[in-house]
Copies of this chain bind each other. A is one copy, B any other.
Amino acid sequence: MTILDGLATSKQIKNEIAVEVSQLVAAGKKRPHLAAVLIGDDGASLTYVGSKVKSCEEVGFKSTLIHKGSETTEAEILAIVDQLNNDDDIDGYILQLPFPKHIDEHKVLMAVDPDKDVDGFHPENIGKMALSLPCFLPATPAGIIELLARYKVPTEGKHCVVIGRSHIVGLPVAILLQRNTYPGNCTVTIAHSRTKDLKALCATADIIIAALGKPEFVTADMVKEGAVVVDVGITRVADASKKSGFKILGDVKYDEVAPKTSYITPVPGGVGPMTIVSLMRNTLLAMKNRG
């Protein structure tokens, strides 16, 4: 059993990016600049944005955090988006979701310039991904793909079961893994809440991508001996023994599943850090695309 160490891999990739940024800046190019828009004070969102800003520093990017109160109107957010679209120094930016309930997230997303959409959430980028065209891949699926690639995990002809059909993880990772490339060429099954006999289906899988957001859902009896298991779940569960008051659980019951697998991602330290690194890679790409 090999642990797919997302933390170590993400550090390595950050080093690679930092070296490239130094070289670009030394050659007179501009420093990549990522902006993040955060509305309100959701604890998890604050943590995520904080990690992204810190990662920008580590790789030598400029970063700008635009943090507004939860009473911010949709019109005000659209004005921020318009300003970011037109700011020549900003190479890419992200909208930290969820927004407060009175904001139409879709309307705001559609206002994002696809060329600055480093989250890869705009329909034009999703469509290009499906058509195997150059684009910004959504960060979590791209992080999973990169992790499989770095560990040279075989994928061709493998049966991959993706549990969960969300627009930001399940569906795009399914699309990526069926593509005619490496990592890819999997026979992909998309499973979800309406799937019948999910246990039996998972037990046939060579690769399981668990992205349903239910802590410790995938148990040992659902996993074939030698399978590859990628755990996308990150659920906060109250834990009085922790200083933070909570612990992070994945979608996989790690202790009993891990011994059966050929490769498995831990939580934390698996897919999470790879997601942030994908965002850094997209930002660097955006800067290069803009010449």
| Chain A positions near chain B (C-beta within 8 angstroms) | 106, 122-133, 135, 156-157, 159, 165, 167, 171-172, 174-175, 178-180, 185, 187-192, 194-196, 201
Contact of A125 among B127, B159, B188 (CB under 8 A): B127
In Å, the complex CA distance between A201 and B159 comes to 10
In Å, the complex CA distance between A89 and B181 comes to 42
Name the residue on B nearest A132 (C-beta).
Answer: B167
Contacts A130-B172, A187-B191 aside, 20 further interface pairs with beta carbons under 8 A come to: A122-B127, A123-B124, A123-B125, A123-B130, A126-B126, A127-B128, A127-B130, A130-B130, A130-B171, A130-B175, A157-B195, A159-B196, A165-B178, A165-B179, A165-B180, A180-B192, A185-B192, A187-B189, A189-B189, A189-B190
In Å, the complex CA distance between A196 and B205 comes to 12
Q: Which residues of B contact A157 (CB under 8 A)?
A: 194-196
Contact of A178 among B129, B131, B159, B190 (CB under 8 A): B190
In Å, the complex CA distance between A185 and B133 comes to 28
Which 9 residue pairs are nearest across A and B when measured between Cβ atoms? A123-B127, A127-B127, A126-B127, A189-B189, A187-B195, A185-B194, A123-B128, A178-B190, A124-B124
Q: Which residues of B contact A125 (CB under 8 A)?
A: 123, 127
A194 near B190 with CB under 8 A, answer no
Name the residue on B nearest A185 (C-beta).
Answer: B194
Distance in angstroms from A134 CB to nearest chain B CB is 11
Contact of A126 among B131, B159, B165, B178 (CB under 8 A): B131
Q: Which residues of B contact A132 (CB under 8 A)?
A: 167
In Å, the complex CA distance between A188 and B194 comes to 11
B126 near A167 with CB under 8 A, answer no
Distance in angstroms from A61 CB to nearest chain B CB is 27
B178 near A171 with CB under 8 A, answer yes
In Å, the complex CA distance between A201 and B128 comes to 29
B187 near A187 with CB under 8 A, answer no
Q: Which residues of B contact A191 (CB under 8 A)?
A: 187
Contact of A167 among B130, B156, B185 (CB under 8 A): B130
In Å, the complex CA distance between A172 and B178 comes to 12
Q: Which residues of B contact A122 (CB under 8 A)?
A: 127
Q: Which residues of B contact A123 (CB under 8 A)?
A: 123-128, 130-131, 133, 135
Name the residue on B nearest A196 (C-beta).
Answer: B157
Distance in angstroms from A227 CB to nearest chain B CB is 15
Q: Which residues of B contact A106 (CB under 8 A)?
A: 133
Distance in angstroms from A51 CB to nearest chain B CB is 26
Name the residue on B nearest A126 (C-beta).
Answer: B127
Q: Which residues of B contact A165 (CB under 8 A)?
A: 178-180
Q: With A124-B124, A133-B106 as known contacts, state yes or no: A196 contacts B190, CB within 8 Å.
A: no
